[in-house]
Amino acid sequence: MRKEDFYFESADKRTQIHAVRWMPDSGGYRAVLQITHGMQEYIERYQEFAEFLTKKGFLVVGHDHLGHGESVADAEAYGFFSESRPSDALIRDMHTLRRTVQGQNRGKPYFMLGHSMGSYMLRKYITKYSKGLAGAVIVGTGSMPDGLMILGMGICRFLAGRYGWNYRSRLVKFLSFLGPYRRYDVTGRDIRRNWLTGDLEIAKRFYRDPKCTFDFTVNGYFGLMQAVYYDNQPKYIEEIRKSLPLFLVSGDADPVGDMGRGVKKVYRQYKKAGISDVSMKLYQGGRHEILNETDRDLVYEDIYGWLQERMK
């Protein structure tokens, strides 16, 4: 596998977005997968999955969101998106990368995959830009009540008005990890009870990594809540191309998906909207990072099998 780093200008017109391209050693590939990573992580955490797919004949690309990884000007920028419509800034960066890479690979099937926060951004993305996509894989997603998101966005607006959009609120962080998260230790102190993965070495690396343990700003939380609220609205779901293949993949012990219940709700919403090819798989005992779980070889094969079938 060959790996290349490159950069492009963000929608915020200030930040250079860091991106990665993984290619088969031979240089030849049959299809492209673009990965959109989750909250408080970065694209190079997907290298193992990318290596698997390059061996299967895929070009894999992805980028660090605003406020993540190497797409930051300084430490203060971690967890901050954009003062103007923060979730839209992330969507536009996703589309810039897609236009660039798809334009360089005309005629090859182009897929997108989003994990966690990236799954919510991808769900918003496909309401606007589903044309020309061969399929979308939605990993580690969920569904939250509209009223809760409206309340959360209101709290973020209030705190931003008082302290600025760069403020890092312990209250918002606390409120974000209630409900189904309570069965886990979300601090990383009791690693066996971590909410991410049963692979304890990967969990340890996550909690030792400063690019994964920074606190989100109220701007970042607001942008995420914007997307979660948007994704739940039937009028926007109706905008998705009806023939776009969708694959929902999660663990049934993932608190983001409310232990599978939220994932099933999203599946039913897509079916109700008339999308003709919607699949779902919940992995028994799987926590949040299903691509890093102890049975990830099976998850990889299932995703590859789904992609291969849609390439036909």
Q: What is the CATH number of the domain that holds 119?
A: 3.40.50.1820
Average pLDDT over residues 287-291: 98
Q: Are 197 and 292 in contact (CB under 8 A)?
A: yes
Q: What was the pLDDT predicted at 107?
A: 93
Q: Rounded distance, CA 113 to CA 33, Å?
A: 7
Number of independent structural domains in the chain: 1
Q: Rounded distance, CA 229 to CA 236, Å?
A: 11
Task: For residue 137, give the nearest of 126, 128, 145, 127 by alpha carbon.
Answer: 126
**Owning domain of residue 208:** 2-311
Give the position of tokens 């959360």: 152
- pLDDT per residue as tens digits for the range 266-282: 999 999 999 999 999 99
- What is the band of 80 on the pLDDT scale with cuts at 50, 70, 90? very high
- What is the band of 21 on the pLDDT scale with cuts at 50, 70, 90? very high
Is the pLDDT at 42 greater than 90? The verdict is yes
* 22 bridge partner residues: 3, 60
- Computed over every residue of the chain, the mean pLDDT equals 97
Is the pLDDT at 26 greater than 90? The verdict is no
Is the pLDDT at 145 greater than 90? The verdict is yes
- What is the band of 224 on the pLDDT scale with cuts at 50, 70, 90? very high
Q: Rounded distance, CA 221 to CA 205, Å?
A: 24
- Which helix (H) or strand (E) covers residue 224, if one does? helix 218-231
- pLDDT per residue as tens digits for the range 163-190: 999 999 999 999 999 999 999 999 999 9
Average pLDDT over residues 193-221: 97
Q: Rounded distance, CA 108 to CA 164, Å?
A: 45
Q: Are 189 and 240 in contact (CB under 8 A)?
A: no
Q: What was the pLDDT predicted at 84?
A: 81
